[in-house]
Structure 1
Amino acid sequence: MSENYYERLVDEDALAAYLTDHIGEADDYDIERHQEGHSNETLFVTWGDRELVIRRPPPGETADTAHDVLREYRVTNAVADTDVPVPTPILACEDHDVIGSDFYVMERLEGDVLREGEPEWLAGPDHRARIGEELVDTLATIHDLDYEAIGLGEFGRPEGYTQRQVDRWGKQLAWAFEVTEEERAVPVLHDVGDWLRDNVPEDHPHTLVHGDYKLDNVMFAPASGRDASRSERADPVGEHPPELVGVFDWEMATLGDPRADLGWMLSYWRDAKDPEPSVPELTTRFMEREGYSSRPELVERWEDQTGYEFEHERFYRTLAVYKLAALGEMFFRRYLEGNSDDPMYPKMEDRVPALAARAKRIIEGDEPL
């Protein structure tokens, strides 16, 4: 990360003054940028004996509400006292004089985010099965929440959510294409958008939806170690089953269609029969191994937990890949405009056309559930 980009992310002195005013002084102060994310920026902050996390949008122009961290704070705060596991939210700040943008502060959790590979303590068929089960069970818990009771009754307009998703991501693509089409066009995405508009389901259940629910937006720890320190909960021999201890990245949460959440989660979940991934750099593949749940098994479990059927599955899986392509194209625009130093962004020149091709395969039945 260039020094100039880091300076655009955070003013260390201003942040220290803000934290001092709101949570007290600290002798030990350190900031580390989390390198794994590709949307909102995440900063790990040591403040005395507390480990904190700060979420802020990337610098530069962004598309509409694609990086609304205060919305993320609101929903995290609302679900914090439910059965949905989330980090404890602490502060939200709208004063751009502090670090140049909205941001919020939360406690840091201890555990493993399953992104690069399978931790040693998970390498067993029983534990592997629990990963998918915990992932689906927690999603079902989100979808079963009484959103009125937790203060989110005005959090969105669930009627027409799915149609708006198609329209919104078409607009996000159009925003990106304003710049990226000067480099190369992706005409297949226009065809996919047309198909989605022609096949939007007429109605759907109304629930709280996460909007970005997938394996690397949750954290696992050995079940006996949820409240233990990192050293205390080390489980190299796999004695304890995995427990999902945190759900992150709520920036896209709203009231809407739970099937869209499920389709998004499934777009990241690999089966051994699948073709090579469209974006290998962002694809986790260890769940192709023996013991992990298949996509149909995950769908069946979600249906059993929620009482909903996963109707129109080709539509929802296509919508998920269309959204992935739109995000990739937005990344590519920010790269072209110099608003990110993420090495992933320039690769979207080729990866977005590959995602468009994947969406067409799903539409045509060549990439089944």
Structure 2
Amino acid sequence: MTATPHVQAGVAADPGRVGRWLAHQLADPGWRDCGVTSIGQGRSNLTFRVSSAAGSVVLRRPPMGSVAATAHDMGRERRVLTALAGTAVPVPSVLAAAPGGEPVDAPCYVMELVDGVVPFGVLPAGWADPGARRRAGEALVDVLVALHRVDPAPVGLADFGRPDGFLARQLRRWSTQWDTWCPGSGTDAATAAELTALAGELARRLPETQRSTIVHGDYRLDNLIYDEREPGTVRAVLDWEMSTLGDPMADLGLLMVYWSRADDPPVWRDAPRRHNLTREPGFPTRLQLAERYAEGTGLALHPLPWYAAFGAFKLAVVVAGILSRVADGAVPAEFAVGMSDGVPALVALGRHVLRAGLAG
């Protein structure tokens, strides 16, 4: 993971308080003298590496300031990680948790530090060979298949969400967020009208859910920790803050939007991505990812364009939210780097996918 200097670790997670709390929680005084370093990209829940003579762990807490509790629910993250332990889905072990007060004056939890690499910015050293990149892409799909095969009830997640009406609620939720963030995002009237039209078209063409499963909510390459030596092995899946019970095709559709290809037409290429690593030779195409997923789950792919279009709509609203918060001074301006044209590009992609499918 990469350090993020814009998050002041000493403010969001004071080493003295964290060390004392960990020493008590883990019954080891070696934690008292610890260092706290911000890791990850820091746009949502905050993640810190805590290091001491007793070892190293990872602490997760909500963003600083006033936030929507449902969007940054530490108890929810902790619950799904604990439930998935022992399944075919690799997740870090949860070691301790607090509902508030000590150690960070907010709900938080501590999990094991999983060794490995998070693909972001540049390709890891072991991924130079196209065959390694192919295995990494296939492993990403295989872990998503494993997640969507988990039966929620036996692992204690039967009440983790409301699968009935999931897609309609998601569409309403993100439309409401758009209404909240649009005025401050700097989005022009024409783009706002196009986004509203996209939401209406998605509502009219709502697909029938084939199956309800545990849904990650933000499944992408850089939310995985890969084995440093074997790109075909995923060691952990991270960032479960948006997980729930719902339609698994929503995860696949969003993954399609995140996935970038060197031969993408402009409407795909212009949409902002977390990274462009998957443009390198060897990574599977979107169609190959989707077909491998369908083979593993038995789900039909014909409605996938709707889910990809919804993924583009959702990301457009997220970008609008970031731009709005930057304009308000709630988050640093660096959060919005490369996003100034993100909303219209993602709206254009969503409308295009509904018309032309994923191949266009």
**Structure 1 length-normalised TM:** 0.88
Letter of the 2:303 partner, please give it.
Answer: H
Q: What corresponds to 2:334 in structure 1?
A: 343
1:112 maps to which of 110, 114, 117: 117
Counterpart-to-counterpart distance in 1, 2:6 and 2:91: 32
Q: What corresponds to 1:225 in structure 2?
A: none
Are 1:21 and 2:24 an aligned pair?
yes
Q: Is the 8 A contact 1:274 1:367 kept in 2?
A: no
CA deviations on 1:73-127 (whole Å, 9 max, x unpaired) are 1101100111110111111211145313211110111111111122221222321
Q: What corresponds to 1:229 in structure 2?
A: none
Displacement of 1:175 after TM fit? 2.1
Are 1:262 and 2:266 an aligned pair?
no
Q: Is the 8 A contact 2:9 2:36 kept in 1?
A: no
Letter of the 2:262 partner, please give it.
Answer: A
Are 1:136 and 2:141 an aligned pair?
yes
Q: What corresponds to 1:250 in structure 2?
A: 240
Query: Aligned runs of 1:267-286 on 2, under 5 Å?
Result: 267-275=257-265, 277-278=269-270, 280=272, 282-286=273-277
Are 1:352 and 2:340 an aligned pair?
no
Letter of the 1:99 partner, please give it.
Answer: V
Q: Is the 8 A contact 2:5 2:38 kept in 1?
A: no
The 10-residue stretch of structure 1 (268-277 or 256-265) with the greater mean CA deviation from structure 2: 268-277
Q: What corresponds to 1:226 in structure 2?
A: none
Letter of the 1:122 partner, please give it.
Answer: W
Q: Is the 8 A contact 1:176 1:333 kept in 2?
A: yes
Unaligned runs of 5+ in 1: 223-234
Are 1:196 and 2:202 an aligned pair?
yes
CA deviations on 1:34-90 (whole Å, 9 max, x unpaired) are 152422111111133321111112112334522222211110110011111011111
Q: What corresponds to 1:361 in structure 2?
A: 352
Counterpart-to-counterpart distance in 2, 1:345 and 1:70: 28
- CA separation of 1:354 and 1:3: change in aligned 2, threshold 3 A: closer
Counterpart-to-counterpart distance in 1, 2:133 and 2:89: 21
Displacement of 1:216 after TM fit? 0.5
Unaligned runs of 5+ in 2: none
Q: Is the 8 A contact 1:332 1:346 kept in 2?
A: no
Letter of the 1:11 partner, please give it.
Answer: D
| Structure 2 counterpart SS, 1:219 | strand
Q: What corresponds to 2:13 in structure 1?
A: 10
Displacement of 1:297 after TM fit? 0.9
Q: With a CA cutoff of 8 Å and minimum separation of 6, indicate the structure with the bigger relative contact order.
A: 1
| Structure 2 counterpart SS, 1:208 | strand
Displacement of 1:134 after TM fit? 0.4
Q: What corresponds to 2:62 in structure 1?
A: 57
Q: Is the 8 A contact 2:10 2:36 kept in 1?
A: no
Counterpart-to-counterpart distance in 2, 1:52 and 1:8: 18
Are 1:319 and 2:323 an aligned pair?
no
The 10-residue stretch of structure 1 (135-144 or 308-317) with the greater mean CA deviation from structure 2: 308-317
- CA separation of 1:129 and 1:46: change in aligned 2, threshold 3 A: same
| Structure 2 counterpart SS, 1:193 | helix
**Structure 2 length-normalised TM:** 0.90
- CA separation of 1:328 and 1:17: change in aligned 2, threshold 3 A: same
- CA separation of 1:17 and 1:64: change in aligned 2, threshold 3 A: closer
Letter of the 2:219 partner, please give it.
Answer: Y
Q: What corresponds to 2:126 in structure 1?
A: 121
Counterpart-to-counterpart distance in 2, 1:131 and 1:352: 30
Q: What corresponds to 1:215 in structure 2?
A: 221
CA deviations on 1:262-304 (whole Å, 9 max, x unpaired) are 1111111122321353455x44223223222111111111111
The 10-residue stretch of structure 1 (84-93 or 336-345) with the greater mean CA deviation from structure 2: 336-345
Are 1:34 and 2:54 an aligned pair?
no
Q: Is the 8 A contact 2:210 2:299 kept in 1?
A: no
Paired residues, what number? 351
Q: Is the 8 A contact 1:8 1:100 kept in 2?
A: no
Displacement of 1:4 after TM fit? 9.0
Q: What corresponds to 1:69 in structure 2?
A: 74
Q: What corresponds to 2:106 in structure 1?
A: 101
The 10-residue stretch of structure 1 (120-129 or 282-291) with the greater mean CA deviation from structure 2: 282-291
Counterpart-to-counterpart distance in 1, 2:7 and 2:136: 40
Counterpart-to-counterpart distance in 2, 1:8 and 1:178: 31
| Structure 2 counterpart SS, 1:91 | strand
Q: Is the 8 A contact 1:5 1:341 kept in 2?
A: no
Counterpart-to-counterpart distance in 1, 2:323 and 2:172: 20
Q: What corresponds to 2:323 in structure 1?
A: 332
